[in-house]
A and B are shown apart, each in its own frame.
Chain A
Amino acid sequence: MNGKQLLLKALKERKVRFLFGYTGGAIMPVFDEMERMGAFEFVMARHEQGAAFMAQGLSRASLSTPTPQIGVCLTTSGPGAMNLVTGVADAHMDSVPMLAITGQVATGVIATDAFQESDVVGVMMPICKQTYMPLAAEDVEKTVHEACYVATTGRGGPVIIDLPKDIQNQQAGEDYRFDAKKFRPHLPGYFYTPTPEREPIRQAIELINKSERPLIFCGHGVINSNAGDLLQRFIEKTNIPVASTFHGLSAIPADHPQHLGMMGMHGTVEANRAIMEADLLIALGMRFDDRVTGKLDEYARNAAVIHVEIDASEIDKNVRTTVAINADVYRTLHVLLGDPMLTCIPRRRWWDKLNSFREVMKEDLREEIEVGIGNDNKLLMKGIIHRLSEVTRGRDLIIPDVGQHQMMCARFYNYQTNNSWFGSGGAGTMGCSLPMAIGVKLARPKERVWSISGDGGFQMNFQELGTIMEKQIDVKIIILNNGYLGMVRQWQTFFFDGCFAGTPMQSPDFGLISQAYGIPYRKVELLEDVVPALEEAIACKGAMVLEFICDPAEVILPMIPAGGGFGDMIIRHPHAPKKDQSKQGEAA
C-alpha cells in the first residue's frame, strides 16, 4: 500500500465517516484515492475555514452521542492550509478535538519556496495541540493513530498532519506491518491523569462541608467529559448553586432552580454577584478566562478555590487554588458523589441572598422581552430568542455566531438538551456559526439545528450556503439583522461616546441570496410575525433562512467593562453617557 491508502485506512479504522475539505494540487492523490475507495462521505466546503468549523461542529456535537467522531478536514498546501488557520486557532482556544490533514509540496522541493508551499508546521505549531509531517509511507498510519489519540485525550485540541505529495504516493516496504489494535503511541512526555487523587478529594469535601456560601462553576470540562447528569445529581445532593461558563451552558437544564445562569462579562447579575460573595468556588473544567474573571486582583477575594481541571497548566494560572484536582470532571464528580463524608446543608441565608440577586434585573428583562420591540418598533433580539426558546421548548441545538446575538442566545434560550450549545468562545470568531451548524447537523441528524448569526458574521462565511444546498442539510438559519456590528456598537455606546466608527453596515438582499441557493426565506419585521415565522421554519422540510430586522440600539446587559471588576457591572443603559475623553483608552 502507498501513503494515501494507509492514510485513509487509518482514518477508517478511527471510525471517521465525514471528510470536510477542498482539493488542490498537493492533496489530489488523497482525494483521488478517497473517491475510488468510496468509504467516506465527502463534504465540500466553499472555503477551507468553513471545513474547519464543520469539523469542529461534528466533533463537539457527537461527543455526547454513543458514537463520538473526530472532525477531519482535508485541504491542499499553501493557501488551502493557510485558510484553515483561523478555524484551527479557534479549535485550540476552545479545546476541540479535530484533525486537519494538509497536502504539502514534495519532500524534494520543501524549503525552496515551491509553488503553493507554506511552512504549515511552523505556522500551526503555536495554535494547535500537535503537528506532524510524516516523511515515509511507513510512518503515515501510525501518525494518524497517534494524532487522533492526542487530539481526543486529556484536554482536546486540533492536530495537524502535513503530508508531502510524494509520501502520499510512496509505496510502503514489502515487510511493512501495522496492527492498529495493538498500537500504543510512544509518548513519554504526554501525561493526563483522569482519576483524581485521594488527598485533594478529602480536602475538597472538607472545604465543601464547612462552606457557608459555596458556588459551583460548570465549565466546558463538564460537557467534554459528559458529566452533565452527574453534576445535576451533585448539586441536588449538596444543595449548592451553580453558574455556567460560556462553554458550560447546556450541561444542566438552564432553568434548573439551582442554576444562576452564565457568569462573566455578560453573565447574569445573580451569577456574578454570587461569585463576589461566595466563600468557596468549586470550578469544574474551566480556565478562569479574563472574560469570566474581569480584574484578577478583585476576583473572588473572599473565596477558597477548588479547581478540577484535566490540564495541569491551567491550575494556578490566573486564580490561586486552595485545592487542585488535576483530573477528569466526570471521574471527580463520580468519586465525590460516592463519598459518604459529603453533606447537604440547606444554607438558607445564602439562598435568600442569591434569590434577591435574581430580582435585580428580572422585571426589566421580563418587560423588554414581553414588549419585544425597541426604537422605531424594531424587534429586540432577546425577545426573538426567548420566543424561539418557547416554540422549541428549549430542546433544539443552538449554534450562535459572535456578537450581541450570541450573548442573547447564551442568556435567553432555555437549554434543556445536554450538549446543545456550540459557540466560539475563546477566540470569538465571527463566521463560525453557519459551517459549525453543518457539522452539528451531520453529527445529530435527528435533532433540530439553528444557526443564529448577526448581519456581520453571516457575511463572513455565508458561502457555506453552497454546502447546505448541495448536501441538502437541514439547518434553520436565523439572521438577526441590526444593520450594525452590534457588539462593537454597544462598546462604542458605552465607552466611545457613541461614535460609531466602522460599525454601520449595508447588507445585501438576504432574500435574493437565499433564493440563489434555492433556500426558502422569510423576512420578519413585526412582533406578531415572529412566532409564525419560527413555526414555518420548523415545518419547512430542509433549510430555511429567517431574517429578523432588529433594533440597533438594543444592548446586552449586564456588562462588566473589559479589565473592570465585578463592582463595575453595568446594569442599566446609560443613555449615551458623557464620558471623560481621557478615560476612553482605558475602558476599551
Chain B
Amino acid sequence: MKRRAILAFTLDHPGVLNKISMLIRKKMYNVDTLTVCRARIPGVSRMTITLRESDQARVDQVVRQLEKFTEVISVKELDTDHSYWREVAIIKLEIDASVLETFQGRYNFEILEQKSDDIHILQVAGSTRRIDAFLDEVGQEHIVEIARTGVTAMEK
C-alpha cells in the first residue's frame, strides 16, 4: 500500500478535526499519522494526514470530500518527490555514551539530557525512513521509551 500525505488548511474551529477524522474513518482508512498546527494566517490550521492507499482515484475522492467541508479551505495530496515529509522523535536510550558517539555525524540528533552514565534522552528529526534507520541501528534493546510526532509535510 502506497503511503500518502494529504495537506489541508482549515478554519481553526472546534469540531473540524472531528469532521475530518470521521470522514477518513467513514472511508475505512486507518490514519497513519495526523499532525495539526497553526498556519501562518491567523485563525487557520494546517493539517497533515498520512494514510495508506494504492488506488489514486480513491485518494482523489478523499481529497474532494475533504474540500467539500465548509471549514476546509484547501486540500492537496503531497507526493514524496515534490515535498518534504519530516517528523521528530524523542527517544530515551540506555546506551553507553561512547556507543552513542559513533552515530554522531551520520544521524542528526541532539542530546536533550544525559540522566546517568548510560541513560540519554535525545531528539532526532528527519524523514520517517531516516528515524527508522537510526532506531534499527541503535537496536531495539537499547530503547526505553520513544515518542514520535507523526509526519508534517511541505511542498518543495
Contacts and interface: CB of A to CB of B under 8 A. Distances in A.
B22 A125 contact: yes
B62 to A, nearest CB: 10
A187 interface: yes
Interface stretch (B66-74, B76-84, B100-108, B120-128): B66-74
B99 interface: no
Interface stretch (A212-220, A311-319, A531-539, A563-571): A311-319
A316 B57 CA distance: 8
B99 to A, nearest CB: 50
B18 interface: yes
Contacts of B22: 125-126
A189 B60 contact: no
Contacts of A313: 61, 64-65, 67-68
A126 B24 CA distance: 11
B73 A188 contact: yes
A121 B67 contact: no
Contacts of A317: 61, 64
A130 interface: yes
Interface residues of A, number: 20
B50 interface: no
A131 interface: yes
B11 A189 contact: yes
B69 to A, nearest CB: 7
A3 B18 CA distance: 27
B18 A150 contact: no
A313 B18 CA distance: 20
B11 A188 contact: yes
Interface in A141-195: 150, 187-191
Interface string A310-328: 0111011100100000000
Given A316-B57, A317-B61, A189 B19 contact: no
B25 to A, nearest CB: 9
B47 to A, nearest CB: 12
A125 B70 contact: no
B71 A121 contact: no
B70 A130 contact: yes
Contacts of B64: 312-313, 315-317
B144 to A, nearest CB: 37
B3 to A, nearest CB: 22
Nearest to B23: A126
B15 interface: yes
Nearest to A188: B73
B26 A126 contact: yes
A493 to B, nearest CB: 33
Contacts of A122: 18
Contact of A312 (B11, B68, B69): B68
Interface in A224-279: none
A143 to B, nearest CB: 13
Nearest to A125: B19
B10 interface: yes
A189 B57 contact: no
Contacts of A188: 11, 73
B65 A131 contact: no
A125 B25 CA distance: 14
A125 B61 contact: no
Interface string A114-129: 0000000110011001
Contacts of B18: 122, 125
Nearest to A317: B61
A93 to B, nearest CB: 14
A131 B15 contact: yes
Nearest to B8: A189
A53 B116 CA distance: 69
Contacts of B23: 126
A189 B71 contact: yes
A58 B18 CA distance: 32
Contacts of A316: 57, 60-61, 64
A121 B72 contact: no
A312 B67 contact: yes
Interface in B11-54: 11, 15, 18-19, 22-23, 26
Contacts of B72: 189
Nearest to B62: A313
A44 B72 CA distance: 37
Contacts of A190: 70
Contact of B15 (A125, A312, A320): A125
A320 B57 CA distance: 9
A311 B19 contact: no
A130 B70 CA distance: 8
A129 B70 CA distance: 8
B70 A189 contact: yes
Nearest to A186: B11
Nearest to A190: B70
A150 B70 CA distance: 9
Nearest to B57: A316
Nearest to A150: B70
B28 to A, nearest CB: 14
A92 to B, nearest CB: 12
Contacts of A320: 57
Contacts of B69: 189
A131 B68 CA distance: 14
Interface string B108-135: 0000000000000000000000000000
A189 B73 contact: yes
Contacts of A150: 70
Nearest to A121: B15
Contacts of A126: 22-23, 26
B26 A189 contact: no
Contacts of B26: 126
Contacts of A191: 67
B23 to A, nearest CB: 8
Interface in A276-316: 311-313, 315-316
Question: Which of A187, A188, A315 has the most chain B CB within a 10 Å cutoff?
Answer: A188
17 contacts: A122-B18, A125-B15, A126-B23, A131-B15, A150-B70, A187-B70, A188-B73, A189-B71, A189-B73, A189-B74, A191-B67, A311-B68, A312-B64, A313-B61, A315-B64, A316-B64, A317-B64
Interface of B: 10-11, 15, 18-19, 22-23, 26, 57, 60-61, 64-65, 67-74
Interface of A: 121-122, 125-126, 129-131, 150, 187-191, 311-313, 315-317, 320
Pairs A-B, 9 closest by C-beta atoms: A313-B64, A189-B73, A190-B70, A189-B72, A313-B68, A313-B65, A188-B73, A189-B71, A130-B70
